[in-house]
Chain A
Amino acid sequence: MRLRSLVAAVAATAIGISLAACGGGDKNGSSGGSSGDQTLTYWASNQGTSLDNDKEVLTPVLKKFTDETGIKVNLEVIGWNDLQTRIQTAITSGQAPDVVNIGNTWAASLQATDAFLPFDGDAMTAIGGKDKFVPTALATGGKEGTDPTSVPLYGLAYGLYYNKAMFAAAGLQPPKTWEEMVTAAKKLTIPGKQWGMALAAGSYTENVHFAFINAAQNKADWFSADGKPAFTADGNVQGVLRYLDLMQQDKVANPSNAQYDNGTKSVNDFATKKVAMVINQNNADSSIVANGMKAGEYGVVPFPAPAGGEQVASHVAGINLSVFKNTKHKDAALKFVKYMTDATTQSTLDKPFSALPVLKDAKPNFTTDATEAATFQDIYNTKSKPLPLVPAEDQFESTVGKAMNTMFAKIATGGTVSADDVKAALKTAEDQVAASS
């Protein structure tokens, strides 16, 4: 029965497309021009402390847009567990919103579906020109050398958050290298009381980011120049193993972390002072404060590389804004993108969503802690490397991320993972990606 319903669901989606394809004909005739009652549908991702919080923050901002332009915006906030599937369904069925937030790492993969409007010369001019964006942020918008199908909206970067009081009590300085970080974490691990670090070791999206960053510190790449997966390079294997060893060899993270399937759980451990350090993107700030920790009680330094390694502390993380190609309100959608990425809106939204500015010359305002703001801005501008901008990027995330989940689970349940095991797991992931590209 359930098999049948699964098949039916897949097939029904397929029928949906055929119907949409039939209905697609009239779209060219009626699009543009119409100045009557325009309503845009906008899918926003969850950036605040809850879906409701996002709605509260965005509603006045969208109202201002309506007042200025007469274009109404129909907002839906979608949680991260659903967003990718929702976008996928929208592409498949053609029943899409006009404007959507995407994780910027999906940009090249989504671009490959051909369902999004490329920001070519005219479209780019309509939203205010490409020169207003930070170049590294804009580079995440699509494959290199093509017109991007998304533009940056919120900038994010990883940082190593540390508990100032715990570090002071142990007479430690914030770590500058990987080795210092591990030494500090070991010293701050007190059996039965606290752990040195918390890892979201059961979250494939978090895990794959660290696979990428640790490999980048080893100067290794996951895809060859022609876009073919090359997961088993030695630098990748060693990078993954180094991260796994935080739990396996260094024993500075609670094995229970292997069940942490999202970043919020590890951030909460940090905010409730069960752990001394956590590596998270700067949007952790709102969660940390919401859990009762005060702004001055924690500090942030760049996630350190091993001595002699490449100084990569983050991927260029963040949220991009895309317009669906089959929108009936192209001009209105572009106006909306322009509005969302203009300096005033950006500075209004960066604060509640703890985001870094994606516009040149904009000052970060997500925190009152000037040092923290400067640290994150520095990481974002100079120590970040974009994730591979290839169509198979999303498959890289799911296969390598899930392989790391499994390896963490093995470690947590008492097994050991050697370099050969990592290599074998990455080989499997590589085969999976190769099979479907």
Chain B
Amino acid sequence: MNVGLFIPCYVDQFYPNVGIATLRLLESLDVKVIFPMEQTCCGQPMANSGFQRLSAGCDKNFIQNFADCDVVVGPSGSCVLHLKEHLHSSEQPEEAARLRGNVYELCEFLTDVLKVDALPKARFPHRVGLHTSCHGQRGLGLSSMSELVAPKFSKPEHLLRLVDGLDLVPLTHPDECCGFGGTFCVFEEALSSKMGKDRVNDHLRHGAEVITGGDMSCLMQLEGVLRRQKSSVRVMHIAEILTSGN
């Protein structure tokens, strides 16, 4: 299986450690990974702002980069969801459709494709709060949703429970939105900040030392609030925690 590593633009630029952890995690599970060097952005910022038509360049670039890959794996539920729902090409419609069906969020790939049920080296003796990102949860179905009458499950939680010493804290609102929302965080700044603050407080109230999740964009929002509060609580992408003992 030829696995292409998709590192979203903001992870590439601001959180290279998340990319490194993702790569190492996959390699530690004997997955051969290639990183196409000319990839940029999934196109979601434009599409969510009402300019899906302006993401054609991104789509074309993405398809060119990942054409040789059987599957694509990325450490971001939000970007992966965008690709799954909206990757489009009028020139290569079949290739776009093939990639739409073969792009995975990291946790989804680990649990559903690799069926990981042990991470012998992983050790992280801290109290951890899991921020469940909306696009991963409700869009990709990575975990059950509090609104639905359905059995409870969580793919990220399943993985975190494989980590030695990790203490997962319960939250009052397990699946409330963090308020990032792409350009929402700028155009609705006051609301977005308040949502971020409330989200952080839920984790702090339950004694989290680290907030983790599958989307660095949500975590960047929470980190922004924590840093402003000069809090010692850190954010870490789930890939960083899953590789913590390596």
Partners in one complex: no
B residues contacting A by CB (< 8 A) are: none
Contacts from A to B (Cβ < 8 Å): none
